[in-house]
């Protein structure tokens, strides 16, 4: 706390100088005023971390000072000093925004203790505010990478519905970023100052899932040694995100439906309902309508969850975003591991753009990280990238002699045959010479119908 700036206002000059000396000795920056109106006139919001002010002063009393300073700096902590500590006066000061009351006479140790508490409170407020700002910044819509028309249209829709307190079902293949969209919705909604709680409904066994979501009463089942709140209560005032919601068992579906209808639920083992205010966002990579038809998912719950549907396109349907995502993950890895990879080499970038990315954004993130770990050059080369994804180098039916795919296929074929020739058909030696793993070599041999036996 040393170095914090403290403003003293007390018409009793001796006390003002004593407090100034005590606080200076603790390493604080201190300025004292014996005229309250002068202190208020010269006060600048942001210049001070704490104010200590007497209540009973001539011309302008402490309550007036408190009101004026709070109008200029609402979050500034103010400690009020009084020799007349009546309950009414204390209540009035606290209602006007005072952080604490200090009664005369007091020892230097008590002054220091109160000052440290007030500054600690301020630091926590600042940290919470910074965390909220960081989270909101992290999940701003412009932080979601991509410029494709499909992504832009999606984000425009998400931005509109974020502020409306309605249930949303987010659909899309695995790895498309469903939880990231859910977080963006929460942190751009009126609930952003409250908790975002996420649970993967497919990651927990059925016996645990119900109590995890809704909580349980002591003695409700073996191991329930105390009353326990569930995630729904933990998210009170905020948002609960149910990932892979199609995995919910029927008994949990029933309880969730009641909550969506009545805004209340029963903890496991209880008969008295619990009410909470929570927005439900859910996601799935399966066809919930097909599950409704097969009887494994309740139709009424489906329509309660799917008030608005957000469908995330797979990466192969927005290929123009692949270079941006690759650059984003390269920049992140450069920063995290203190390295300097310039990017993807042109032929590697072309191959990455043409690849289908069945694992979507999650896959490209992992492939970029793995490639950067293996790359010894300035850029990620095609040879390194090809160790982690299938490079489609086969010439198409319409390919010309100068077509990139055809040229790459011819290069790889000649390159592989040269390796096998030099190694006498030894795939392990060929892989080592090329800096590739054996699985990649075998995959490419199969792809180009090259038989190692021809080179033994």
Q: What is the pLDDT of residues 328-359, one digit of tens each?
A: 999 999 998 999 999 999 889 989 998 999 99
Higher pLDDT, 229 or 250: 250
Evaluate if residue 132 carries a pLDDT over 90.
no
pLDDT tens per residue across span 30-40: 999 999 999 99
Q: What CATH class has 141-313?
A: alpha beta
Q: What is the mean pLDDT of the chain?
A: 85
Return the domain boundaries, the chain: 5-134, 141-313, 317-385, 404-455
Q: What is the three-class DSSP state of 165?
A: coil
350-351-356-362 Cα dihedral, nearest 10 degrees: -90
pLDDT tens per residue across span 261-304: 999 988 877 778 889 999 999 999 999 999 999 999 999 999 99
pLDDT tens per residue across span 301-332: 999 999 999 999 999 999 989 998 999 999 99
Higher pLDDT, 202 or 165: 165
For the entire predicted model, the pTM comes to 0.58
Which band of pLDDT confidence, cut at 50, 70 and 90, is reported for residue 222?
Answer: low
For residues 325 and 146, is the Cβ–Cβ distance under 8 A?
Answer: yes
What pLDDT is stored for residue 85 in this prediction?
56
What pLDDT is stored for residue 67 in this prediction?
92
CA 114/CA 51 separation, integer angstroms = 12
Of 212-216, 248-252, 333-337, 366-370, the least confident: 212-216
What pLDDT is stored for residue 136 in this prediction?
47
What pLDDT is stored for residue 331 in this prediction?
92
What pLDDT is stored for residue 273 in this prediction?
87
What pLDDT is stored for residue 141 in this prediction?
60
What pLDDT is stored for residue 295 in this prediction?
94
Over residues 249-255, the mean pLDDT reads 91
Burial of 415 (0-12, 13-18, 19+ CB in 10 A): middle
CATH number of this structure's domain 404-455: 1.10.10
Reply yes or no on domain 5-134 having CATH 1.10.238.10: no
Percentage of the chain lying above the pLDDT 70 cut: 89
What pLDDT is stored for residue 171 in this prediction?
96
Evaluate if residue 185 carries a pLDDT over 60.
yes
What pLDDT is stored for residue 219 in this prediction?
61
The β-bridge relationship of strands 274-275 and 264-265 is: antiparallel
Over residues 378-397, the mean pLDDT reads 78
Helix or strand holding residue 159 (H, E):
helix 149-162
Percentage of the chain lying above the pLDDT 90 cut: 47
DSSP strand E in 253-317: where?
264-265, 274-275, 279-284, 308-311
What pLDDT is stored for residue 407 in this prediction?
72
Evaluate if residue 178 carries a pLDDT over 50.
yes
pLDDT tens per residue across span 96-123: 888 888 888 888 999 999 999 888 877 7
CA 412/CA 445 separation, integer angstroms = 10
For residues 255 and 265, is the Cβ–Cβ distance under 8 A?
Answer: yes
Over residues 165-193, the mean pLDDT reads 92
Matching fold, domains 141-313 and 404-455: no
CATH number of this structure's domain 317-385: 1.10.8.60
Over residues 55-59, the mean pLDDT reads 88
Over residues 64-69, the mean pLDDT reads 93
What pLDDT is stored for residue 223 in this prediction?
61
Please list the residues that pair with 171 across neighbouring strands. 284, 311
Concatenated DSSP letters of 30-75: EEEES-HHHHHHH--TTS-SEEEEESS-SSS-HHHHHHHHHHH-TT
């Amino acid at each position: 706390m040393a170095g914090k700036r403290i403003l003293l206002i007390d018409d009793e000059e001796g006390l003002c100088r004593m407090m100034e000396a005590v606080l200076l000795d603790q390493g604080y920056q201190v300025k004292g005023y014996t005229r309250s109106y002068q202190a208020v006139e010269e006060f600048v919001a942001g210049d001070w971390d704490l104010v200590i002010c007497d209540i009973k002063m001539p011309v302008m009393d402490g309550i007036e000072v408190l009101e004026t300073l709070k109008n200029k700096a609402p979050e500034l902590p103010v400690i009020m000093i009084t020799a007349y500590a009546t309950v009414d006066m204390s209540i009035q000061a606290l209602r006007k925004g005072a952080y604490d009351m200090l009664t005369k006479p007091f020892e230097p140790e008590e002054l220091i203790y109160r000052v440290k508490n007030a500054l600690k409170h301020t630091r926590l407020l600042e940290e919470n505010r910074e965390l909220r700002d960081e989270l909101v910044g992290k999940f701003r819509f412009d932080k979601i990478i991509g410029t494709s028309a499909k992504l832009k249209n999606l984000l425009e829709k998400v931005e509109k519905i974020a502020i409306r307190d309605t249930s949303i079902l987010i659909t899309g293949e695995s790895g498309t970023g469903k939880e990231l969209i859910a977080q963006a919705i929460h942190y751009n909604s009126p609930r952003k100052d409250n908790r975002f709680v996420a649970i993967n409904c497919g990651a927990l066994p059925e016996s645990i899932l119900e109590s995890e979501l809704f909580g349980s009463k002591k003695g409700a089942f073996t191991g329930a040694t105390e009353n326990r709140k569930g995630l729904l209560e933990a998210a009170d005032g905020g948002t609960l995100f149910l990932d892979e919601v199609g995995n919910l068992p029927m008994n949990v579906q029933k309880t969730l439906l009641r909550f969506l209808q009545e805004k209340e639920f029963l903890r496991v083992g209880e008969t008295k309902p619990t009410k909470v205010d929570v927005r439900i966002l859910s996601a799935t990579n399966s066809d919930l309508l097909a599950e409704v038809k097969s009887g494994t998912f309740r139709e009424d719950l489906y329509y309660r969850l799917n008030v608005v549907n957000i469908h995330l396109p797979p990466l192969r349907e927005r290929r123009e975003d692949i270079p941006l995502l690759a650059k984003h993950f390269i920049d992140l890895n450069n920063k995290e591991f203190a390295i300097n990879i310039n990017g993807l080499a042109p032929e590697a970038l072309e191959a990455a753009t043409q690849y289908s990315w069945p694992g979507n954004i999650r896959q490209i993130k992992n492939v970029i990280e793995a490639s950067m770990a293996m790359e010894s050059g300035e850029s990620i080369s095609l040879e390194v990238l090809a160790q982690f994804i299938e490079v489609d180098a086969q010439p198409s039916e319409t390919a010309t002699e100068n077509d990139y795919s055809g040229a790459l296929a011819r290069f790889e074929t000649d390159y592989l045959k040269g390796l096998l020739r030099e190694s006498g058909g030894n795939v392990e030696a060929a892989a080592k010479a090329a800096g590739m793993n054996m699985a990649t070599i075998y995959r490419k041999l199969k792809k180009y119908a090259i038989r190692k036996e021809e080179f033994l």
